[in-house]
Structure 1
């Protein structure tokens, strides 16, 4: 495989660096292009891959990773359309670009995969979903899984479900950052220094998430293990339930999913 990366920003760099680090991809198999020389140089340094001087240098690649902003994607793909090989795979992480849109703008005869990664991929803890076009092969599906899985977890889904992925894991980090900030504020209100409260809050959420993933237990079971009769935890949980934390989070994911659907239609 020869992978051409269109857009050498944080996400493109994180995906390639993770794949190279995991052994899923050789640095010599990758060439990246970005209109900003500083971004190209940073990509080459972080991944050990080549930096292209122009989009034409990606013409010989049989796999393209589209990491531009959505509004820049059409121009980038148009520039490649005439010079690209007749068959290949386009993997897009550009938000909101549907498989139908990719089919209309990508080089003729190419297969397409639409991905929704999230920002924790930048630290190797991503959670992504992806959907394949009808003409994509099982090898294409595995390529996307290996690339996204190198920086976290990846799940192959029907395309309509990518809106829910956007609402949950795409927008979810912002919800969690808000929770960390609020927990830290609670610690400060109760007398803790700000820096200590923030570290305790962040490590508490990371530790709790790790327990869910590594034990395989339902979060409710883990919650019950911490909640002793008439103790401090149940007092706090009762307050959260009274103030609607559970329903607020459900509605936040639902609202983000609905907005993703609206953006896709527009």
Structure 2
């Protein structure tokens, strides 16, 4: 691919994406740069990637072919306004601003610009993101392939209609927090039953990791994998019955639903 990728914003998500692009050899260090007003963020970006980080967003845009808007949603309009004059039809613009729809991005940039809205999650920090993305009408299938390649360098990615990005937010965007709560609760259960805290936490985290890997690598439905663990009259089926009695499954479904609906509310503000 080897396009010059510029980030407006040099925070953790920008650093994580940049590290993924480098790791997969999609860009070289000399084809990456970021703009950020914060000296600490610029220093952290350079330390993480070896690439340049500067305080001149106009220079970032002028050099970049792929421009990633990696600023917080509340700062997006001002950041774009300061560089809009130098964003051209030759730029592929990616936005990771949560809750900012394509229509709003087109208002800021112009509907003749190639714009892609992407929704990675925080696991891109460890190369295990679950992402969704959608394109405006001006962006091409070639642009979609480029974005897919970039996002797959830090995990898995799915091209979806924009109407489904709120569901992506509710599931994989917010989902890490649900899983962290699960790991914490499993560890607390282990401690309650006498395990040392560090051992319980390590066992819980590895158990979740191993189960997720089984789903991904075997391609077997999680219901089948669950049944394979639950022997008749055994310990696992007893634990599963307790989870069902306390609404574990429905609680997770409702969590995804509530987070999705909240994402829609924020987008319509």
TM-score by length of 1: 0.97
Alignment correspondent of 1:38: 40
Matched ranges for 1:49-64 at <5 A:
49-60=51-62, 61-64=64-67
Deviation string 1:50-102 (CA, Å, 9 cap, x unpaired) is: 22231121232222101100011111111111233343111000111110111
* Residues 108 and 239 of structure 1, relative CA distance in 2, 3 Å threshold: closer
**What does 1:111-130 align with in structure 2 at a 5 Å threshold?**
111-130=114-133
- CA change 1:107–1:16 in 2 (3 A) is farther
- 1:96 equivalent among 96, 99, 118: 99
User: Equivalents in 1 of 2:61, 2:152: separation in Å?
Assistant: 26
Structure 2 counterpart of 1:137:
140
Larger mean CA deviation between 6-15 and 106-115 belongs to 106-115
Deviation at 1:6, TM superposition (A): 0.5
Across the aligned residues of Structure 1 and Structure 2, the Cα RMSD in angstroms comes to 1.2
User: Where do 1:175-186 residues align within 5 Å?
Assistant: 175-186=178-189
Partner residue, 2:247: 244
Contact 2:10/2:53, CA 8 A, preserved across alignment: no
The gaps in structure 1 that reach 5 residues or longer are none
SS in 2 for 1:128: strand
User: Which residue does the alignment assign to 1:208?
Assistant: 211
Q: Name the structure 1 match of 2:5.
A: 3
Residues 1:199 and 2:202 aligned together: yes
| Distance (whole Å) between structure 1 residues aligned to residue 18 and residue 185 of structure 2 | 34
Count of residues in correspondence between the two structures? 266
By how many angstroms is 1:30 displaced? Answer: 1.4
Gaps of 5+ in 2: none
Q: Could you say which residue in structure 2 is the equivalent of 1:151?
A: 154
CA contact (8 A) 1:168 1:253 kept: yes
- Greater shift in the superposed pair: 117-126 or 81-90: 81-90
- Between 144-153 and 40-49, the greater mean CA deviation after superposition: 40-49
> Which aligned segments of 4 or more residues in structure 1 are displaced greater than 4 angstroms?
none
